[in-house]
Chains A and B, each alone.
Chain A
Amino acid sequence: MIRRRQVLAGGLAAPFVAKAQARARVVVVGGGFGGATAARFLRRYDPALDVTLLEPNTVFTVCPFSNLVIAGGRDFAAQRFGYDAVRAEGVAVVHAAATTIDTAARTVMAANGTRYPYDRLVLSPGIDIVWSGLAGYDEAAASKMPHAWKAGEQTLLLRRQLEAMPDGGTVVMSVPPNPYRCPPGPYERASLIAWYLTKHKPKSKILVLDAKDAFSKQKLFQAAWKQLYPGLLEWVSLSDGGKVTRVDPASLTFETEFGSHKADVGIVVPPQRAGAIAAGAGVADRSGWCPIDPMTFESRLVPGIHVIGDAAIAGAMPKSAFAANAQAKVCAAAVVSLLNGKKPDEPRLINTCYSLVAPEYGISVAGVYRPANGVLADIEGAGGTSPPDAPAEQRIQEAMFGEQWFATITAEVFG
């Protein structure tokens, strides 16, 4: 409160006196797993808070399980969630995009023309695609070679393309270097597309061209591929010449340093960075992502702004819905502490990530994290992955756990 009075002293002093005694204001930008959770938990931790959530979409389409929609194993409607429950929690949900942030005046300008003042700001803007990051891939190219890395129309476009592909066709997918949203996502997608092809188009192939030599749950994925999709799914690593250097959307061609691959369906998992508003607010560094204090998720670059979810550089924590949800709760508690002049508690965070190799074949990785040396570090010995030689029943059970996880987290965030 003192800070605000100082900042806005002078001409505005008189009308501001009344406001200075008003409730503390927190604005949350982005209504995904991070932002919607943060908004709700801010209200729970301090019911006196004035919390505004800025999110352009009235219906949010979630990414987890969208690979199963692409493979025809799930209804798109199951991915869609509204904000009634968030509103019922006392959050002012405004369906407008945040356009600019004035960090000196501590206000957010929204596309609806309204200016929202804040005492603390929570940014959960997710990812944006770096259109200049892969030669030949721009917004127009995405309508030919979908990324489907933000769920929605792109998810449906890729589904339609797979349905239209004749049997005997080749699906090619390029995967970028780290970091990107959902580290095991490309491999789950390749698996589920392979599942679809095995069932409906068994003469077809899927080729994964990767800019990396190693990936999340690699041994589990590769063992399952050998078992379920022999000869149908091929993964080409960086050291096998898998790094894609250019795409041609007109001919659906992927070029590597050592050759080119023509696709019948071409999927580009593109290079990514924090949502544009982060760079606009000055909280993103040269990597395109946002360095944060792991105790509070407050930006290392701009005080008073917290960054959570995929946009944040969260050390060992992956960019996942689970992580965004966990970070949002820690951040909300820290914001409430800071607004009340208290020292935030040191957090422990958990992430669990289920992947489907087939609809009834689930694998998982779990991790526990705590702040250490200024970053979020993995607690050694905590967490782990599914066992490599588990019986089929355990894979079925893990697929069910995955679905239950989805039901639980979407109920907590949107329900």
Chain B
Amino acid sequence: MVRVLINVPKQVFRSIPFEVKVLISHPMESGQRRDQVGQAIPRDIINHFVCTLDGETVLDADFFPAISANPFLAFSVVAEKSGILALTFVDDQGVTQTETVAVNVA
């Protein structure tokens, strides 16, 4: 489990886009670096990220090694009613993690 910070506005409005901000504490090891004895450090990045709102996919992204450590994501979502925003990501070690946050539509 890595630490994930999520920020959505306390209240959003129907059909009006709002911003979702996410900060994931992940080393995003690119696979290009070598350690002190010259051995390649194996790649370990988040390779897939999905955001759903009440089960409906609103963002689906593949990540690549050029994405920085501790990636910060910001994207816009439109909601028609209150629901649960779920963020799911998978890394190269096969670890899947899901974080959820409530979205309250005024």
Given contacts A257-B23, A258-B23, whether A238 and B7 have CB atoms under 8 Å apart is no
Query: Which residues 13-72 in B have Cβ within 8 Å of A in the complex?
Result: 21, 23, 25, 69-70, 72
- In the assembly, what is the distance between CA of A348 and CA of B49, in Å? 49
- Tell me which residues across on chain B come within 8 A of A259, comparing CB atoms: 7
Q: Are A239 and B7 in contact (CB under 8 A)?
A: no
**In the complex, how many angstroms separate the beta carbon of A284 from the nearest chain B beta carbon?**
27
User: A213: which B residues are within 8 A, CB to CB?
Assistant: 69-70
Q: Is the CB of A258 within 8 A of B70?
A: no
List chain A residues, Cβ under 8 A from B74: 257
B69 touches A258 (CB 8 A): no
**Residue A240 at the chain B interface, CB threshold 8 Å:** yes
A289–B69 alpha-carbon span in the complex (Å):
27
Count chain A residues whose beta carbon lies closer than 8 angstroms to a beta carbon of B: 8
Secondary structure at the B interface, as helix, strand, loop or mixed, is strand
Partner of A257, one of B3, B25, B70, B72: B72
Contact of B21 among A238, A239, A240, A257 (CB under 8 A): A257
Interface hub of B23, B25, B69, B70 (most chain A Cβ within 10 A):
B23
CB interface residues, A 214-273, toward B, < 8 Å: 238-241, 257-259
Residue B5, interface by CB 8 Å: yes
Whether A240 contacts B7 in the complex (CB less than 8 A), given A213-B70, A257-B72, comes out as no
Q: Chain A nearest CB: distance from B6 CB in Å?
A: 8
A13-B15 Cα distance, complex, nearest whole Å: 75
Cβ-closest chain A residue relative to B19? A257
- Partner pick for A240 among B3, B6, B69, CB 8 A cutoff: B3
A148 to B56, CA, bound (A): 50
Chain A residues proximal to chain B, CB less than 8 Å: 213, 238-241, 257-259
* B residues with CB within 8 A of A: 3, 5-7, 21, 23, 25, 69-70, 72, 74
